[in-house]
């Protein structure tokens, strides 16, 4: 059974991605039911959580995980780039000094990551200065295009453009990326069964010859349970959600 977050008294799915999961269940001939956040929060669904797939918003899924004692479910890494965890207040001080810094909240989806500078950003108005953020050096070159790569069982199964020029495709980067992901095996942690990799295509300038070149970078990794459908087939989207969900439930 698939339990999908609802709104409006369990008559419609909570948002677009929940609708994709619903249609994916229909396409796969799987039984499903719409449930509200309040139903999960009440505890009456607790006995069902470990053996049935739940799909919903980040807030909804955090509540689902917490009902069975799982806290801070996340990818083992956020990027292959060097970063440090600091407070938002510390990041603001760095920006005030005139140095730009890319920040992303340590708490998943608290706000969207961006390059912090001396400007005022309304998205931070209600975020306390003691909030933990991951801080990175911004990319040197301009991002021309960004793609979300969906990975399942170590293989790339779909990719979708989510920002920039959609005509710039990372097709010739896929094989290299899959090999790169294999390099992470054997470490103290392992990548989950389903996740996404955000790829950036940079407008890198060859300084010596002064002609434009293309450079691919990993922007970040994201855990599948917290990721939406950017256009992949609904049944495939549900497969990735399901496999990652039950992998988490085995913890």
Q: Please give the pLDDT value at position 211.
A: 53
| Residue 62 in domain | yes
Tell me if 240 is assigned to some domain: no
Domain boundary (11, 32, 67) is at: 67
* Helix locations, the chain, DSSP H: 16-27, 37-42, 46-49, 58-67, 88-96, 174-182, 234-249
pLDDT at 213: 61
State mean pLDDT over 171-197.
81
pLDDT for the residue 207? 46
Q: Is the pLDDT of residue 84 over 50?
A: yes
On whether residue 239 sits in a domain, the answer given is no
Region 174-179 average pLDDT:
89
119 HSE (CA, 13 A, CB side): 9
Q: Is residue 241 part of a domain?
A: no
User: What does residue 163 show for φ and ψ, rounded to 5 degrees?
Assistant: -165, 145
Q: What is the pTM of this model?
A: 0.84
Same domain for 163 and 184, yes or no, is yes
The per-residue pLDDT for 89 is 87
56 and 120: one domain?
A: no
Structural Rg of the chain based on CA atoms? 20
* Per-residue confidence band for 124, with pLDDT thresholds at 50, 70 and 90: confident
**31 within domain boundaries:** yes
The range of the structural domain enclosing residue 126 comes to 84-136
Domain-terminating residue out of 24, 42, 67: 67
- Phi, psi for residue 106 in degrees, rounded to 5: -65, -35
Q: What is the pLDDT of residue 49?
A: 98
In a domain, 243, yes or no: no
Task: Check whether residue 179 and residue 116 sit in a common domain.
Answer: no
What is the Cα 71 distance to its own chain's centre? 17
CB neighbours of 107 closer than 8 A, spacing ≥ 6? Answer: 131, 132
Average pLDDT, the chain: 88
For residue 213, give both structure tokens: 């070149």
pLDDT in tens, 25-42: 999 999 999 999 999 999
Domain boundary among 35, 67, 99: 67
Query: Which range has the top average pLDDT, 20-29, 103-112, 136-145, 185-194?
Result: 20-29
**Better-predicted residue by pLDDT, 23 or 75:** 23
Same domain, 154 and 208: yes
Handedness of CA 46, 238, 145, 80 (dihedral sign): positive
* Total count of domains within the chain: 3
CA dihedral sign of residues 177, 180, 184, 186: positive
**Inside any domain, residue 230:** no
Look at residue 122 and tell me if it is in a domain.
Answer: yes
The answer, yes or no, to whether residue 5 has pLDDT greater than 70, is yes
Instruction: Indicate if 147 and 220 belong to the same structural domain.
Output: yes
- Indicate if 181 and 132 belong to the same structural domain: no
Are residues 169 and 215 located together in one domain of the fold?
yes
Kind of pairing between the strands at 12-13 and 53-55: unpaired
Predicted confidence (pLDDT) at residue 188 exceeds the cutoff of 70? no
């Amino acid at each position: 059974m698939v339990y999908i977050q609802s709104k409006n008294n369990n008559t419609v799915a909570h948002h677009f991605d929940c609708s994709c999961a619903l249609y994916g269940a229909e396409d796969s001939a799987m039984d499903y039911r719409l449930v509200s956040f309040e139903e999960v929060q009440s505890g009456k669904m607790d006995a069902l959580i470990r053996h049935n797939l739940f799909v919903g918003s980040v807030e909804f899924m955090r509540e689902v995980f917490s009902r069975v004692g799982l806290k801070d479910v996340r990818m083992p890494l956020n990027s292959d780039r060097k970063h440090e965890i600091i407070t938002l207040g510390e990041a603001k001080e760095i920006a005030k000094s005139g140095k730009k810094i890319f920040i992303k909240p340590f708490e998943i989806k608290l706000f969207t990551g961006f390059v912090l500078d001396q400007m005022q950003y309304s998205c931070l108005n209600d975020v306390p200065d003691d909030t933990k953020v991951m801080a990175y050096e911004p990319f040197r070159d301009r991002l021309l295009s960004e793609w979300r790569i969906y990975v399942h069982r170590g293989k790339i199964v779909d990719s979708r453009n989510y920002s920039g020029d959609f005509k710039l495709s990372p097709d010739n980067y896929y094989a290299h990326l899959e090999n790169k992901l294999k390099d992470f095996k054997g470490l103290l942690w392992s990548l989950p069964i389903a996740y996404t990799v955000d790829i950036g295509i940079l407008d890198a300038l060859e300084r010596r010859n002064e002609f434009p070149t293309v450079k691919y970078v990993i922007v970040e990794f994201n855990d599948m349970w917290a990721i939406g459908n950017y256009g992949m087939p609904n049944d495939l989207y549900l497969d990735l959600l399901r496999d990652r969900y039950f992998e988490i439930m085995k913890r």
